[in-house]
Amino acid sequence: MLQQILRLDGHLQNIYLAVYPDKLLLLDGCCRADVPFVLATIRDLLGRDVRQLKAVIVTHMHADHAGGASYLKKATGCQIISANRSKQWYEGVEGRINYLLDLSLSYFVAYRHGSSLKNLNYPRELFADICLNDGDCVPMFEDWQILETIGHTDRDLSVYHQQTGKIYVADLIIKLRNQHFVNPYNVHDPQAYIQSLQKIKQLQPKLVLMAHGGQAFIDNQTFDKLIKKAPKVVRTNKDIYNDIVFRVVKKKFRRK
């Protein structure tokens, strides 16, 4: 029986730990820099053996969702669960470049948030112990169901707890500090992204757990707004970089 879903402030994102009397499930792979904090939380706050962490879900391959998984496995022996894909997300030369761009963006975001400089480097390739498809239950945690909610990348997962009506959507929806809900900047497949939003809306979850912005109830009107405002064209790392450079240049000119 699920006791609680513990929400922790990670280096770049929220971390959600599903707590059971004798086992623990981490709903996403967090940053490499979060690993000591997660282990200390299990030991000191929950008073548990770290080996009670039985599984870590990797919702997608970005540094704040996959970065800690392999290190947590080494420390606890937990199983890594991910989407069922034949290819790595960061495959080939283009994949290597994207990996470096994504990683440097994570460092940039940490810097912008005023976080201390921590090592965020992580393996570019993920070797999951368990690959799941849409609708599958999470092994060892059968009360959690995997939903494919792609669009942000080609392999995004959401994790749904039907009994409580809570769903963790990773980067599908982001809540800003001003309480507004927005689409993520990076949208790999705009059409699939909209379908994923519709899928979550249809579930009518009681609470949506986000990697950025905590947890909130999202009403139909807000879902419709997110669907309406969803990018119509692909937004890639290149666009993010162009946007950052543009903003920096604009700022410099304004100062003169």
Binding site for Zn ion (CB under 5 A): 62, 171
Q: Rounded to an integer, what distance in angstroms lies between the CA atom of residue 233 and that of residue 253? A: 29
For Zn ion, which is the closer residue by CB, 123 or 165?
123
Could you tell me if 163 and 153 are in contact, meaning their C-beta atoms sit under 8 angstroms apart?
no
Cβ at position 56, least distance to Zn ion in Å: 16
For Zn ion, which is the closer residue by CB, 50 or 156?
156
175: left (phi over 0), alpha (psi -120 to 50) or beta: beta
> Closest by alpha carbon to 149, among 188, 181, 177?
188
For Zn ion, which is the closer residue by CB, 17 or 64?
64
Cβ at position 166, least distance to Zn ion in Å: 20
Q: Rounded to an integer, what distance in angstroms lies between the CA atom of residue 254 and that of residue 256? A: 5
Cβ at position 160, least distance to Zn ion in Å: 19
For Zn ion, which is the closer residue by CB, 148 or 171?
171
Residue with tokens 């995004």: 156
For Zn ion, which is the closer residue by CB, 34 or 171?
171
Cβ at position 165, least distance to Zn ion in Å: 24
Cβ at position 111, least distance to Zn ion in Å: 18
Cβ at position 6, least distance to Zn ion in Å: 22
- Output the 3-class SS for 180-246: CEECCCCECCHHHHHHHHHHHHHHCCCEEECCCCCEECCCHHHHHHHHHHCCCCCECHHHHHHHHHH
Backbone dihedral angles phi then psi of residue 146, each to the nearest 5 degrees: -90, 130
For Zn ion, which is the closer residue by CB, 76 or 98?
98
**Largest distance between two CA atoms of the chain:** 62
Backbone dihedral angles phi then psi of residue 88, each to the nearest 5 degrees: -70, 150
